[in-house]
């Protein structure tokens, strides 16, 4: 082996989700794409909003090539950062300025910049299960360790009772992903206020800040007009992390940002480090064309109904068939409790019926499977007989 020991174990445990996705492609080649019901990846099928397509053309024609495709400050174009700050201020009255915004290579890029800047070997990051499995890898990139709080299976809310005892001198950050991938749970303002109380006391006890990474790529995907709390307005030491991957259907373009409030502890140090991390990690800057594009589309969203009708159809179909389903409030994922003891077996049984979904083991919450319903409605309709057969198979 020429690769490092660390990388060897990373490769060995490499994403089961990606593997299933590839198996789905293989199956589609064998039986025809229309006969495979692939719910494995969070790859949005909703069309890119027309305003985004328009902006791509406009930006390219309005600016000279060298500007659109050139380097800029590592934190991003000043006018883009200002537009993002203004848009956040309009919604949340935070008093952000352009300096508080760093354009990033998606939410993943933002998180890597934060971890690169904050984590030393053995430092800890706390995540609430179920959590996006890549968090563990992002922390490990810098010698950090992900500490997982078990899921609260009665309602999938943040398991705050378990939090305080896991905070110690090595705790550097806590990730809160609202609404949540994979449960679709939306954490209320009340829950976030309780989290704030716990953290305030814990910071005094351990003698240093605990930064909350508000990882919110699904912020705009909430179905029943429920309010999504803006975490930085409740918790001072929060870093707001946003991505356009899901809300504008642009995951391959790798565009997002982070926002820091000037009143947070060590603001100057943090912002300086995050900008340098963006460069040193090799991102250099967020993609330039798409910075300019999203700055014109800050109030644009994908059609929420596209996902809502999927959510309603799947929820009804699966509950009618007797499956136990966690009703999602946001994002575009839905958890189904495995009706057989080993959920990997449930995944295999589904695959026999050409349904591809993933076990939630890698989300730190065994016993369930995740269905990503960011797919075409017609595919869900076509999949219903396969789910009916699956319901019979598990009896």
How far is CA 356 from each of CA 31, 280, 318, 370, rounded to the nearest angstrom? 14, 38, 15, 10
- HEC string for 239-285: EEEEECCCCCCCHHHCCEEEEECCCCCCHHHHHHHHHHHHHHCCCCC
Nearest to 331, CA basis, from 352, 302, 356: 302
215 makes contact with ligand PLP (CB under 6 A): yes
Nearest to 302, CA basis, from 371, 187, 223: 223
Q: How far is the CB of 18 from ligand PLP (least distance, A)?
A: 12
107 makes contact with ligand PLP (CB under 6 A): yes
Site for ligand PLP in 308-337 (CB under 6 A): none
217 makes contact with ligand PLP (CB under 6 A): yes
Q: How many CB atoms lie within 10 A of CB 48?
A: 16
40 makes contact with ligand PLP (CB under 6 A): no
Site for ligand PLP in 228-247 (CB under 6 A): 243, 245
360 makes contact with ligand PLP (CB under 6 A): no
Query: Which of 42, 133, 179, 229 contacts ligand PLP by CB under 6 A?
Result: 42
How far is CA 193 from each of CA 165, 189, 366, rounded to the nearest angstrom? 18, 6, 28
Q: Which is nearer to ligand PLP, 217 or 364 (CB)?
A: 217
Quick one: which segment of 6-14, 106-114, 115-123, 260-268 binds ligand PLP (CB under 6 A)? Answer: 106-114
Q: Which is nearer to ligand PLP, 300 or 349 (CB)?
A: 300
Quick one: which segment of 105-113, 258-266, 275-283, 291-299 binds ligand PLP (CB under 6 A)? Answer: 105-113
Quick one: which segment of 11-19, 60-68, 104-112, 122-130 binds ligand PLP (CB under 6 A)? Answer: 104-112
DSSP letters for 295-352:
HT-TT----HHHHHHHHHHHHHHHHHTT--EEPPSBTTEEEEE-SSS-HHHHHHHHHH
Query: Which of 44, 49, 251, 364 contacts ligand PLP by CB under 6 A?
Result: 251
338 makes contact with ligand PLP (CB under 6 A): no
364 makes contact with ligand PLP (CB under 6 A): no
177 makes contact with ligand PLP (CB under 6 A): yes
Give the count of residues interacting with ligand PLP (CB under 6 A): 13
Query: Which of 44, 106, 130, 209 contacts ligand PLP by CB under 6 A?
Result: 106
DSSP letters for 153-194:
TTT----GGGHHHH--TTEEEEEEESS-TTT-----HHHHHH
302 makes contact with ligand PLP (CB under 6 A): no
d(CA 207, CA 43): 41
138 makes contact with ligand PLP (CB under 6 A): no
Give the phi and the psi of residue 251 in degrees, each rounded to 5. Answer: -60, -30
132 makes contact with ligand PLP (CB under 6 A): yes
Q: How far is the CB of 106 from ligand PLP (least distance, A)?
A: 3
The SS3 of residue 113 is helix
Sequence length of the chain is 395
CA 395 to the chain's CA centroid: 34
Q: Which is nearer to ligand PLP, 106 or 144 (CB)?
A: 106
d(CA 334, CA 111): 24
179 makes contact with ligand PLP (CB under 6 A): no
307 makes contact with ligand PLP (CB under 6 A): no
108 makes contact with ligand PLP (CB under 6 A): yes
Q: How far is the CB of 69 from ligand PLP (least distance, A)?
A: 22
256 makes contact with ligand PLP (CB under 6 A): yes
Q: Which is nearer to ligand PLP, 221 or 271 (CB)?
A: 221
Nearest to 55, CA basis, from 306, 389, 290: 290
Nearest to 148, CA basis, from 121, 119, 171, 114: 171
Residue showing the smallest CB distance to ligand PLP in the complex: 106
Question: What residues line the site for ligand PLP (CB under 6 A)?
Answer: 42, 106-108, 132, 177, 181, 215, 217, 243, 245, 251, 256
């Amino acid at each position: 082996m020429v690769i490092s020991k660390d990388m060897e174990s990373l490769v060995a445990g490499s994403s089961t989700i990606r593997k299933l996705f590839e198996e789905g492609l293989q199956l589609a080649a064998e039986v025809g794409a229309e006969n495979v019901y692939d719910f494995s990846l969070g790859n949005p099928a909703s069309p890119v909003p027309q305003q985004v397509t328009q902006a791509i053309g406009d930006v390219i024609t309005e600016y000279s090539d060298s500007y659109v495709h050139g380097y800029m400050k590592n934190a991003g174009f000043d006018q883009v950062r200002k537009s993002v700050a203004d848009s956040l201020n309009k919604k949340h009255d935070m008093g952000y300025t352009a300096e508080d915004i760093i354009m990033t290579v998606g939410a993943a890029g933002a998180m890597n910049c934060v971890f690169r800047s904050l984590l030393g070997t053995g430092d800890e990051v706390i995540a609430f299960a179920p959590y996006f499995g890549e968090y563990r890898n992002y922390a490990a990139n810098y010698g950090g360790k992900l500490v997982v709080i078990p899921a609260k299976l009665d309602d999938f809310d943040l398991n705050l009772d378990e939090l305080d005892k896991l905070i110690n001198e090595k705790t550097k950050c806590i990730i809160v992903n609202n609404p949540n991938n994979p449960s679709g749970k939306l954490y209320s303002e009340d829950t976030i206020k309780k989290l704030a109380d716990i953290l305030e006391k814990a910071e005094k006890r351990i003698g240093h800040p605990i930064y909350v990474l508000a990882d919110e790529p699904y912020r705009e995907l909430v179905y029943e007009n429920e309010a999504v709390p803006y975490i930085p307005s409740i918790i001072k030491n929060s870093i707001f992390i946003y991505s356009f991957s899901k809300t504008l259907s642009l995951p391959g373009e790798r565009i997002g940002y982070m926002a820091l409030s000037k009143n947070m502890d060590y603001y100057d140090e943090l912002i300086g480090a995050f900008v340098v991390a963006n460069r040193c990690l090799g991102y250099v800057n967020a993609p330039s064309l798409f910075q300019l594009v999203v700055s014109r589309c800050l109030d644009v969203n994908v059609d929420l109904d596209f996902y809502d009708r999927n959510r309603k159809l799947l929820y009804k179909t699966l509950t009618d068939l007797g499956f136990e389903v966690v009703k999602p409030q946001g994002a575009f994922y839905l958890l189904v409790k495995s009706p057989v003891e080993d959920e990997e077996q449930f995944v295999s049984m589904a695959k026999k019926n050409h349904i591809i979904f993933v076990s939630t083991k890698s989300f730190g919450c065994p016993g369930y499977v995740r269905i990503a319903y960011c797919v075409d409605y017609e595919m869900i309709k076509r999949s219903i007989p396969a789910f009916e057969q699956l319901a019979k198979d598990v009896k």
